[in-house]
Structure 1
Amino acid sequence: MSDTLEILLTNDDGIDSPGIRVLYDALSALANVTVVAPADDRSAVGRSISHEVDVVEHELGYAVEGTPSDCVVAGLGALGPFPDLVVSGCNRGANLGEYVLGRSGTISAAVEAAFFDVPAIATSLYVPAGDLALADVEVGPDHYAEATRATTFLVEHALDAGVFEEAAYLNVNVPVPDESANGDAPAPLEITRPSKRYEMDASHEGDRVVLHDRVWDEMDAETLPDPPGTDRRAVVEGRVSVSPLTAPHTTHHHDALDALVATYPEAVPEL
């Protein structure tokens, strides 16, 4: 590693979002930060790739007319110095649970980095919305203070601590600062696993099918069904969730599949 830490910073909310600005300002105090981020909001696009994208210079770095995965490939392959670390975020809205790992653009940027053997941190802000839509909740730069503090700590220490010898990336979810609970003290970090809850359904309404994500309907700490040790439980109870994850996914040996494959030559007709 060079004497100066090199960071590629990206997101999926777009290069003009406040979440990436606060991280840029904080991380620039301890590293050389190159921003390569979508020109506009590309939330929930997963690891979609465009193969060819337009790029324009921006005051923070480069705005890419593409997805977060486009940004990581472009940043690592062409636009910036090859980094020691990729940071994705800070996302406006949490990325919690196993089911979002392939859906979130924020996390997908970290996964893309992992395929380059570059460690990564994806950071998201849990925004309690109550009965409102997330888009209707006002979130300003001050709301990202806890997320900035936690991410800066991990950026500064995780590499030297050997964290990425085991984890390909960290999925970090941070509650909005609660001054009444902690004052100026940091919310505690908790090592978590992604929740297994999945509550998608759909309704047929005229000429449309409307998809519903009902996981977010139960986010009260007293009634939350997610068990201790999960990312959702930690964040709802006011702790910073840090899930160490791997990419690509691990393949396991299965005796049942071996036995099934062995029957194939006798079980299917000849062409």
Structure 2
Amino acid sequence: MKPKILLTNDDGVTSEGIWAAYDALSTFADVTVVAPSTQQSAVGRSISIFEPIRAGKVYINDTEAYSVGGKPTDSVIIGLYALKLKPDLVVSGINIGENLSFESIMTSGTIGAALEAANHGIPSVALSLQVEDQGEKFDDPGYSKLDFGDAKIATADICKKLLLNGFPEKTDVVNVNFPKRYTGKYEITNLAEKLFETGVEKRLDPRGRPYFWINGPLLEDAPKGTDVHAISKGNISITPITLDSTAYSGLDGIKSVLEL
């Protein structure tokens, strides 16, 4: 029997990225798409607990999918507990835009969906494709200019191997980032500290009242061995991530500070 995959994302059910992933994964697996109805980037692992969630069938590219009026995490929960899917793997992506460093994985809806699946005991993979122009993240994801060709090949390769060989120990999410210009090499990486140089731009509205845009340029590189460095070389970055955020190396230090 074919393995079963629940496929979700944070760019929305109409995104070209999720359907590129579907094309790659459906060659060897039974894939069910359960994804947000609208763009939900940068919502992290937030969950809709103060309002009802609507979910219904839609047909995209002649394929049945489920459109969820909520967050990426909601989509995973609806897939597992309302639709009662029993996937062997949850895949989130392919996201339009890279998800690299401590900074991004804490805010990314793509990673948030994968972490939610892992929290319910399902091995999960997050997939993201670097963009040439950061403005592309804000365009309609259903009409992307990105070339998903190499990412589709690597998606199938990586997910096949994870299903065949089993998920790595002490890993909850495998975070995969595809570079915009691909060398053909995989690199196992750790998270860089930052991806952006954070800034704030102040503007005035027509009435002279201030408002603000959070912005800042991308960092061009990071130390060797990090995901940011791998992508800068054109390599596919593969980073194992864990749900456990405990700072084990800090346990003795906090005992000392609190005199315990």
Matches within 5 A, 1:58-97: 58-59=58-59, 60-97=64-101
Q: Structure 2 counterpart of 1:115, which letter?
A: N
2:178 maps to 1:174: yes
Instruction: Give TM-score scaled by structure 2 length.
Output: 0.86
SS in 1 for 2:238: strand
Instruction: Give TM-score scaled by structure 1 length.
Output: 0.83
For residues 121 and 10 of structure 1, what CA distance do their matches in structure 2 show? 10
8 A contact 1:145–1:177 mirrored in 2: no
Q: Which structure 2 segments of 5+ residues have no match?
A: 205-209
Correspondence for 2:212: 209
Q: Structure 2 counterpart of 1:199, which letter?
A: E
- Do the aligned partners of residues 192 and 256 (structure 1) sit closer, same or farther apart at CA in structure 2, a change above 3 Å counting? closer
Aligned-pair CA distance for 1:133: 5.8
SS in 2 for 1:48: coil
Matches within 5 A, 1:28-39: 28-39=26-37
Aligned-pair CA distance for 1:177: 4.8
SS in 2 for 1:101: helix
Q: Which has the higher contact order (CA 8 A, sep 6+)?
A: 2
Aligned-pair CA distance for 1:199: 2.4
Aligned-pair CA distance for 1:158: 1.3
Structure 1 stretches of 4+ moved >3 Å: 132-141, 203-206, 259-263
Percent of aligned positions that are identical: 38
For residues 171 and 253 of structure 2, what CA distance do their matches in structure 1 show? 29
* RMSD (Å), alpha carbons: 2.2
Correspondence for 1:258: 255
For residues 55 and 135 of structure 1, what CA distance do their matches in structure 2 show? 24
8 A contact 2:123–2:167 mirrored in 1: no
8 A contact 1:34–1:80 mirrored in 2: no
- Do the aligned partners of residues 261 and 151 (structure 1) sit closer, same or farther apart at CA in structure 2, a change above 3 Å counting? same
Aligned-pair CA distance for 1:76: 1.0
Post-superposition CA distance 1:4-53 (Å, at most 9, x none): 21100000111111111111122111111111000111111111111331
Matches within 5 A, 1:104-123: 104-123=108-127
2:246 maps to 1:246: no
Correspondence for 1:268: none
For residues 232 and 260 of structure 1, what CA distance do their matches in structure 2 show? 34
| Greater C-alpha radius of gyration | 1
Q: Which structure 1 segments of 5+ residues have no match?
A: 264-271
8 A contact 1:146–1:177 mirrored in 2: no
- Do the aligned partners of residues 22 and 134 (structure 1) sit closer, same or farther apart at CA in structure 2, a change above 3 Å counting? closer
Matches within 5 A, 1:1-271: 3-51=1-49, 52-59=52-59, 60-129=64-133, 134-135=137-138, 139-140=144-145, 143-177=147-181, 187-197=184-194, 199-206=197-204, 207-214=210-217, 216=218, 218-219=219-220, 224=221, 226-252=222-248, 254-262=251-259
